Amino acid sequence: MSKLPRVALLSTGGTIDALGASRLDLAWYTETKNRLPDGALVAALPELKTVADVIQVPFARMPSYALSTEDWSLLATTVQQLAASGTFDGIVVTHGTNTLEETAFLLSLTLSTTIPIVLVGAMRPANGLGSDGMINLLQAVRLAASKPARGQGVLVLINDTVFAARDVTKSATFRVNAFAAPGLGPLGHVDADGEIRLTRRHATNAVPAFAIEDIARMPRVDVVVSYVGADGVLIKAAVAAGARAIVSAGTGAGRPTPAESAALNEAAAGGVVVCQGTRVASGRVSRSPAMKAAGRVVAPAMAPWQARIALALAVQHTTDSEAIQITLDAL
């Protein structure tokens, strides 16, 4: 008999192991503050033993919207240590879907490994009708244990669909197919028979863009979303609060209001790194001559919250706008 792959499993919480007040509690279950006991999700899924030798690694469980920078630092450090140990063929991290895309992006910028790192979540609680947690977890373990996933960096698996951490975003509040990669599409799927079909590959850096140690030192970086009639009050408040950088989620291809633009230029002149992004779900922001002259950088085809993470890591090394633009373009 061939030896099964070894997969490490870290459970950070989220809907996948949450318990609702009843089987119909598919919306407000987080308010019960109840979870499955440690190890119960895996114990209820004996089919995992046919796919991989799953080793559970203790980690604090919580809603993903409650995660802190300290939690991110510990998670990245733990995953990197597991990957570097040479003991595992893949690593799976269960995670709440609210901020799953942010954690996945952060890990993709800081981890150095060729083994698959797969983040997985669920849209319905463990005791809810139609719960998707168990099948998602099984498929994630299949993906993490597979050869096609090697060298693909950090991946996200949900609803049988495989996404690259750089591309994925949550696109629906309740649907089980709540994740998408606007403008790019998924990398592939884990089919019903367990076959891994990745029809697209994505470029991954051999050397991570940032060090894990940078996570614990991430400074304040704020995101300000534009809308009709927006003034510069929130931008000035961010500067006053000590923001080292500001991401402007502008309209269209990255256009804040005139009042916001004036406040952003003032912030940039005062040494705050200003990154122009867009509130639009897909598409890139082009760095116009006026933006460059004002010292603003742009987030090319990057969501505002992704840009926030990248900037919080980048400004620890430089505040030069041209150097930061080169870094953002390479991510």
Cβ–Cβ under 8 Å, residues 212 and 73: yes
C-alpha gyration radius of the chain: 20
- Residues assigned a catalytic role: 15
Tokens of 12: 């950070």
Q: CA 44 → CA 38, 93, 119, 137, 233, distances in Å?
A: 12, 17, 20, 11, 52
> String of b and e for 176-207 (b: at least 16 CB within 10 Å)?
bebbbbeebebbbbbeeeeebebeeebeeeee
Q: How many CA atoms lie within 13 A of 191 on its CB side?
A: 6
Tokens of 100: 């799953």
Q: Which residues fall within 8 angstroms of residue 289, CB to CB, at 6 or more apart?
A: none
Q: What angle do CA 321, 325, 326 make, to 5 degrees?
A: 120
